[in-house]
Amino acid sequence: MQRIILVLVILISCKMTFSQKKKNTGFVKIENLVEFTVDSVISNSPVDIMVFTLKVTNKTDKPIPDLGVSNRSKNVNFYINGQLDNPRNLYNGLEAIGGDKTIRINESQTCGATWTIPGAGLIKKYGNEFTVQWEYMGQKSAVVKVNVEEKTSFIARQCLIAN
C-alpha cells in the first residue's frame, strides 16, 4: 500500500512539474519588408535609399525577446542571396525598446537596415537583383526578391511557420 501511495505521489508531482513547464504555444510572425524611398536626412540633397525591415509579432502565450541591440545580436540574422550578411547598422540603435526587453503577447516590433542607392558596395557585390531574408530566433521570414534598377520587390518564396 505504501508503494502504491509513493508511486501516486511521484506521478502527481511529475504531472505538476510538466504542467508548470508548459511549452510556449502559438507562433511568432516574421515579416520581411522592403521599401524604396527618398531621404534628405542622410545628406543635404535627396538620396534614394532601400530600407530592409524585420517585423516580429508575438502570437504566442508568453513574452519573447525584443529587438533591442543586445537581443538583436543574439536572435536576428539578415541574409542576402541565401548567405549570412549582417550589416553593421543592424547592431546600432536602442538597447531596450520596450523597457523589459521583451515583445509582449500580441504586440509587434520592427528593426532594420538602410542602404543608399547605389549602396556602399551592395550593388557591386550582389548586382541589381538579389534576394533578402530575415531570421529571428531560428525562424526565417519569406524570401523577398529586390530589383534595385526598377525599385521593386516581391515575395519570391514563403517560409512555413512551425509551431
Report which of 68, 54, 36 is spatially closest to residue 133, judged by C-alpha positions: 54
Q: What is the pLDDT of residue 100?
A: 82
3-state SS, residue 49: strand
Q: What is the pLDDT of residues 46-90, one digit of tens each?
A: 888 889 999 999 999 999 999 988 888 899 999 999 999 888 777
User: What is the DSSP secondary structure assignment for residue 161, as one 8-state letter?
Assistant: P
Can you give the pTM of this predicted structure?
A: 0.77
Q: Determine contact, residues 81/144, Cβ cutoff 8 Å.
A: no
- Whether the per-residue pLDDT at 1 is higher than 60: the answer is no
pLDDT band of 95, cuts 50, 70, 90? low
Q: How far is CA 148 from CA 79, 108, 121, 145, 151, in A?
A: 17, 28, 13, 10, 5
The pLDDT tens digits of the residues spanning 110-160 come to 998 888 876 557 778 888 899 999 999 999 999 999 999 899 999 887 665
User: 24-157 is classed in which CATH architecture?
Assistant: Sandwich (2.60)
Nearest to 55 by CA among 160, 162, 161, 136: 136
Task: Give backbone dihedrals phi and psi of 16, rounded to 5 degrees, phi first.
Answer: -65, -40
Distance CA 23, CA 16 (A): 14
User: pLDDT confidence of 162, banded at 50, 70, 90?
Assistant: very low
Exposure b/e, 49-65, CB count within 10 A at least 16 = b: bbebebbbbbebeebbb
